């Protein structure tokens, strides 16, 4: 498995990223992630293919329990109004699904959070697995209705937010 250095850091700590960096035009890897549905009181499995035919925006964060990830995920919730109507927004982290569900309820966030806690596969496939932390590198992906990556931003400084405007514009273009 490819390992990349000098592409992610927090303060003075350099982090190793596992997996190949995805580029616009690449096929979006399918994924199988967990989600806790608090209303049903049950775990659900979510796959990329569940939202086939729609534009998907993947907000990838280290952990919802950190300040920058908290702000970023709230911001995507607010920006959903600026996205094309059928766009599906997922926030993805290695947090436990139960913790994600509690956070979403407390913050009144309605888009789904998906957890990669069982496996490092999503992190490897999307090139965002931080080896030293076993968390995910901050990144944003926009996937078109044909399951192609049309936008990929890997944020090197884990204390910085992504370029929201560029991702919103990519989602608009992908929706036609």
Specify the CATH number for the domain of residue 7.
Answer: 3.40.30.10
Q: Count CB-CB contacts under 10 A for residue 13.
A: 10
The DSSP letter of residue 98 is H
pLDDT tens column, 98-109 = 999 999 999 999
- Tell me which of 33, 69, 83, 136 is the catalytic residue: 69
DSSP labels for 31-94?
-EEEEEETTTTEEEEEEGGGGTTS-EEEEE-S-TTSHHHHHHHHHHHHHGGGS-TT-EEEEEES
Domain that residue 13 falls in = 3-175
* Model confidence pTM above 0.85: yes
Give the rounded percent of residues in the chain with a pLDDT score beyond 90.
98
Domain count, the chain: 1
Quote the pLDDT of residue 69.
Answer: 96
pLDDT tens column, 32-65 = 999 999 889 999 999 999 999 999 999 999 999 9
Give the rounded percent of residues in the chain with a pLDDT score beyond 70.
100
pLDDT tens column, 120-174 = 999 999 999 999 999 999 999 999 999 999 999 999 999 999 999 999 999 999 9
Quote the pLDDT of residue 64.
Answer: 96
Quote the pLDDT of residue 63.
Answer: 97
Contact indicator for 94, 60 with CB cutoff of 8 Å:
no
Quote the pLDDT of residue 1.
Answer: 85
Q: Is 69 a catalytic residue?
A: yes
Quote the pLDDT of residue 74.
Answer: 96
Average pLDDT of the chain to the nearest whole number: 97
3-state SS class at 149: strand
């Amino acid at each position: 498995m490819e390992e990349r250095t000098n592409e992610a850091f927090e303060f003075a700590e350099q982090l190793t990223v596992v997996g190949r960096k995805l580029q616009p035009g690449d096929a979006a890897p399918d994924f199988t992630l967990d989600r806790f549905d608090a209303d049903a009181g049950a775990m659900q499995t979510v796959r990329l293919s569940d939202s086939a035919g729609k534009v998907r925006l993947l907000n990838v964060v280290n952990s919802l329990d950190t300040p920058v990830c908290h702000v970023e995920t709230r911001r995507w919730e607010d920006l959903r109004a600026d996205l094309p109507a059928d766009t599906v927004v997922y926030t993805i982290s290695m947090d436990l699904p139960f913790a994600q569900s509690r956070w979403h309820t407390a913050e009144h966030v309605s888009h789904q959070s998906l957890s990669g806690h069982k496996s490092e596969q999503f992190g490897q496939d999307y090139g965002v697995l931080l080896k030293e932390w076993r968390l995910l590198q901050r990144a944003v992906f926009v996937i078109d209705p044909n399951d192609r990556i049309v936008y990929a931003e890997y944020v090197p400084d884990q204390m910085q937010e992504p370029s929201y405007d560029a991702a919103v514009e990519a989602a608009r273009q992908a929706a036609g």
